[in-house]
Structure 1
């Protein structure tokens, strides 16, 4: 089925004094990629987090933002860079002796120096917190997938409308093919009349027309393009990631249409080739957003 690779999902869960909020943002990407912004104390969960998301999301770049609050899971700690503090203290003593300073920094002054003093909030991991994080992530992933499916439904309608336009162009081209033989025959007869007058062998005309038609025959390309259209309709109904398959199919259809354009001598066929190429480009742009 058609799913977009872009979307957003958010979920919040609470347990006792724990509260976890997770936001997922998905964008286009050739492969599957994850970016987690979470407390470093939960870094050990990364493998499980990826597995939880991958159950529903097969392709795209995921940005995952974690917000965790609760008195029981956080603590504030004072961190001191003693090496830097010792260097600072030695400098004060040396400067005091060298310049005979009287007003030396007090302990209060030293405690205000943020270069070697910092207060950090740390999250304490626990089995309850781990379960809560995974449950919240699963719910956020479901909501993200729901949005991707909704956008995918719109893409599906878009594809069907444009595929229908290509089908109509192929019908016009096929209806024009019989006129091509008549065009070549009349063109060749006119040239022969201009050169040798009315006295020429009609069999020569038929032979030359047959050769020209063989070089300009586009029936095979038209049939292959129609076959690709049927494949496209079949692929968009598959219950699996289909973006790469559709991208490859669009490339194949472009090749066939370009060949039709290079062989065509009819203005009517050329006009339809231009229309099909324009439509295929529109489809290709949207296929880049399909999972």
Structure 2
């Protein structure tokens, strides 16, 4: 199953079908639908369309909610008509009705001016063209939604590649950190021995403590220190989180919220690693890990 980004764009156009016996009004009438999508915690829909097609909003909303789960989606719907469509051929019933209305008005208002050709054509437009555009608008919207899904899938593939690359780098950093702890403990043990010896010599008590006792005390201090800086548990949990993220990316589907939670856990482990680090090498590894995790967070926020 694919991984979908919440970022994408698509557009589609459709021409109105010619109605039987009424070819002129439908000629040249068409609809263009544009869909823009950005990341959002939930599915947030916004519609920009002419008032004549506002009645289509429930159908368009149903179409979008059936195919999309998350994202801030803006749908723009525009109509186009050429000169013939803008000035349709008046129908006889329309002209008869208009003549009767004009006669009635002039009967009551003798000084009223007769209708001009422009006014008559404007009146004869009616709502017939808008009605014929409904199907064209829905057809364009369906095509546009499929285009948006394809665009989001392509962007999702790019995000997966970026996240997989970051996972590899985090594993490399974890592998570098694991052998550093014993080395740090060994260096600290040597420092303890040296400092104890210096302290005893300064106090004139070098002879009062045997070499074995001195070593035992240093080893005890080093063991306590090793417990404080042990990051094996953090590295183990970090590896487990990376395994789960990789599994989700390969499985695909609606994984954005689960990935967001796992990224928080990765950040927690990297922070703990940094707080326990007493060596410059471990501190640098922790900083690099947090940079990579933050980069992953930015990408995961765009995944559906």
Q: TM (normalized to structure 1)?
A: 0.78
CA 1:226–1:122 in 2, change beyond 3 Å: closer, same or farther?
farther
Give aligned pairs, total: 252
Alignment partners' CA distance in 2, 1:74 and 1:259: 73
Residue 149 in structure 1 maps to residue 150 in structure 2: no
1:191 aligned to which of 192, 195, 211:
195
Q: How does 1:38-117 map to 2 (within 5 A)?
A: 38-69=49-80, 71=85
Name the CA shift for 1:213/1:74 in 2 (closer, same or farther; >3 Å): farther
Q: 1:214-253 maps to which residues of 2 (within 5 A)?
A: 214-253=227-266
- For structure 1, the residue ranges without an aligned partner over 5 or more in a row are 76-105, 109-117
Q: Is 1:182 aligned with 2:186?
A: yes
Instruction: Give the Å deviation of 1:206.
Output: 2.1
- Contact 1:5 1:28 (C-alpha < 8 Å) held by counterparts: yes
1:160 alignment counterpart: 164
Query: Partner of 2:12 in structure 1?
Result: 11
Task: Give the strand-richer structure, 1 or 2.
Answer: 1
Q: Is the 8 A contact 1:31 1:60 kept in 2?
A: yes
Q: Which moved more, 1:216-225 or 1:7-16?
A: 7-16
Query: Which of 34, 39, 43 is the aligned partner of 1:23?
Result: 34
Q: Please give the alpha-carbon distance, in whole angstroms, between the structure 2 residues aligned to 1:227 and 1:177.
A: 20
- Cα RMSD of the aligned pairs, angstroms, is 2.9
**Contact map agreement 2:4 2:253 (CA 8 A) in 1:** no
Partner of 1:100: none
Q: CA–CA distance in 1 between the matches of 2:87 and 2:154?
A: 37
For 2:286, the equivalent position in structure 1 comes to: 273
Distance 1:238 1:43, change over 3 A: farther
After TM superposition, which residue ranges in structure 1, 4 or more long, deviate above 6 angstroms? Answer: 72-75
Which one has a larger percent helix, Structure 1 or Structure 2?
Answer: 2
* Residue 138, structure 1, aligned to residue 139, structure 2: no
Per-residue deviation at 1:58? 1.4
Gap regions ≥5 residues in structure 2: 19-25, 90-110, 114-121
